[in-house]
């Protein structure tokens, strides 16, 4: 990748990341999604949530990151764990190093403190995926992963885990006993109903719980041309909550 391409990619990621310059309609969209997620977790003793999707490029990682940013700005201490060790994304999105991360901790190559990037934003810490391992499935299913989450759960109000697409690999389902449930991300006009049905079937067979569904890239009614707004919906227990999501360029390597 050329220097100009890298600069363009970095610019695109900054446009996707919530900041002080983000339009009001987008920040309010994420606040609505986070509020509904909090309601979904109200009766759960666990505050660990896994984000997944049917396939790559559905906006899973961006949704996870921006909901975590929003949650932290609302005053909660939040940790993002990039558990997509096959195709890590968090370190690129937040422009941090990926020398030590989840794979390093689970493999015994560093301690937890060495793998956490603290205060990337106010109240928000990041644990990147670390070097890509040859056995990510085994690492996520290990006792080390269970112990890690138990330790981290004592230090954070919420933990958001970015996991691989459930229809591609089974990694996300290995965490079902350690989490409160899954936030499922779909992309309008891209994710198909059969793909969603298959993903839900896999989660149901694994006895997992779906906390809610975020639909991205949905065009709002009444908009035309460049004045259109993209909309997302957050679904919880069969109900839909609509909120503006804002237009922005596509990030090719976003999961």
Q: Are strands 124-127 and 116-121 parallel, antiparallel or unpaired?
A: antiparallel
Domain membership flag for residue 78? yes
Specify whether the CB–CB gap between 201 and 170 falls below 8 A. Answer: no
Chain segment 35-63, per-residue pLDDT in tens: 999 999 988 889 999 999 999 989 999 99
Cα 144 to Cα 105: distance, rounded to the nearest angstrom: 8
Q: Would you state the structure tokens that stand for residue 24, as one six-digit string?
A: 């009001």
3-state secondary structure of 205: helix
Domain membership flag for residue 250? no
pLDDT score recorded for residue 232: 44
Domain membership flag for residue 114? yes
Chain segment 136-185, per-residue pLDDT in tens: 999 999 999 999 999 999 999 999 999 999 999 999 999 999 999 999 99
Domain membership flag for residue 7? yes
**Domain coverage including residue 91:** 3-244
Q: What is the CA radius of gyration of the chain?
A: 17
- Report the number of distinct structural domains present in the chain: 1
Domain membership flag for residue 27? yes
Strands (E), the chain: 48-53, 78-82, 116-121, 124-127, 158-162, 181-187, 210-219, 230-236, 239-244
Domain membership flag for residue 251? no
Give me the residues paired with residue 50 across strands. 161, 182
Q: CATH number of the domain that 74 lies in?
A: 3.40.50.300
pLDDT score recorded for residue 31: 92
């Amino acid at each position: 990748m050329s220097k100009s391409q890298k600069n363009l990619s970095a610019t695109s990621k900054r446009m996707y990341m919530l900041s002080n310059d983000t339009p009001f309609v987008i920040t309010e969209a994420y606040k609505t999604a986070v509020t509904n997620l909090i309601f979904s977790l109200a009766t759960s003793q666990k505050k660990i949530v896994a984000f997944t999707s049917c396939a790559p490029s559905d906006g899973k990682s961006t949704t996870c990151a921006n909901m975590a940013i929003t949650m932290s700005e609302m005053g909660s201490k939040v940790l993002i764990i990039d558990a997509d060790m096959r195709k890590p994304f968090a370190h690129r999105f937040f422009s941090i190093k990926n020398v030590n991360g989840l794979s390093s901790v689970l493999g015994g190559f560093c301690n937890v403190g060495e793998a956490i990037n603290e205060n990337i934003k106010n109240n928000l810490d990041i644990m990147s995926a670390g070097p890509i391992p040859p056995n990510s499935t085994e690492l996520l299913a290990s006792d080390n992963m269970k112990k890690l989450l138990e330790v981290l759960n004592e230090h954070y109000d919420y933990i958001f885990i970015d996991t691989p697409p459930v229809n591609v690999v089974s990694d996300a389902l290995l965490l079902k006993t350690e989490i409160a449930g899954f936030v499922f991300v779909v992309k309008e006009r891209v994710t198909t109903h059969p793909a969603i049905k298959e993903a839900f079937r896999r989660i149901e067979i694994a006895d997992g719980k779906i906390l809610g569904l975020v639909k991205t890239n949905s065009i709002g009614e009444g908009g035309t041309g460049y004045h259109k707004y993209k909309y997302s919906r957050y679904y919880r227990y069969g109900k839909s909550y609509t909120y503006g999501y804002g237009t922005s360029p596509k990030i090719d390597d976003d999961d």
